[in-house]
Amino acid sequence: METVVSGIRPTGNLHLGNYFGAMKNFVKMQYKHKCYFFIADFHSLTTHPTPENLMENIKQVLAEYLACGLDPEAATIYLQSDIHEIPELYLLLNMISYLGELERCTSFKEKVRVQPDNVNAGLLTYPVLMATDIIIHKATKVPVGKDQEQHLEMTRNFASRFNRMYNVNYFPEPVAYNFGEELIKIPGLDGSGKMGKSEGPNNAIFLVDEPEVIRKKVMKAVTDAGPTEINQKKPEVIENLFLLMNAVSASETIKHFDDLYNDCTLKYGNLKKQLAEDIIKFTNPFREKIKELKANNAYLKKVAEEGAEKARKSAAKTLKEVREIVGFKEF
Ligand code: TYM
CB 318 within 8 A of CB 88: no
Residue 98 burial (C-beta neighbours within 10 Å; 0-12, 13-18, 19+):
exposed
Tell me the residue type at 323.
Answer: R
Q: How many CB atoms lie within 10 A of CB 10?
A: 27
- How many degrees, rounded to 5, is the angle at CA 190 between CA 184 and CA 192? 55
User: Which residue in 24, 59, 141, 197 is the catalytic one?
Assistant: 197
Fold: same for 3-184+296-326 and 197-290: no
Mean pLDDT lowest among 38-42, 87-91, 167-171, 198-202: 198-202
- What DSSP designation does 182 have? P
From the candidate CATH numbers 1.10.240.10, 3.40.50.170, 3.30.70.20, 1.20.1560.10, the one assigned to the domain spanning 197-290: 1.10.240.10
C-alpha of 299 from chain center = 24
111 belongs to the catalytic site: yes
User: Which residue in 24, 34, 59, 111 is the catalytic one?
Assistant: 111
Mean pLDDT score, 84-88: 98
Q: pLDDT value at position 318?
A: 98
So what CATH class is 3-184+296-326? Answer: alpha beta
Mean pLDDT score, 55-74: 97
* Beta pairing class for 175-177 and 141-143: parallel
CA 113 – CA 115 distance, rounded (Å): 6
Tell me the residue type at 270.
Answer: N
Which ligand 1 atom is nearest residue 129's CA? 31
CB 227 within 8 A of CB 264: yes
Mean pLDDT score, 132-153: 98
CA 286 – CA 24 distance, rounded (Å): 13
**pLDDT band for position 191 (cuts 50, 70, 90):** confident
Ligand 1: lining residues by beta carbon, under 6 Å:
5-9, 17-18, 20-22, 40, 43, 130, 133-134, 142, 144-145, 147-148, 184-186, 194-196
Long-range contacts of 232-236 (CB under 8 A, 24+ apart): 234/261, 236/191, 236/193
Report the percent of the chain where pLDDT is more than 70.
100
CA 48 – CA 63 distance, rounded (Å): 22
Which ligand 1 atom is nearest residue 147's CA? 20
Mean pLDDT score, 226-234: 93
pTM greater than 0.85 (yes/no)? yes
Tell me the residue type at 220.
Answer: K
Beta partners for residue 76, in sequence order: 36
**pLDDT band for position 49 (cuts 50, 70, 90):** confident
CB 6 within 8 A of CB 23: no
Domain ranges of the chain: 3-184+296-326, 197-290
194 belongs to the catalytic site: yes
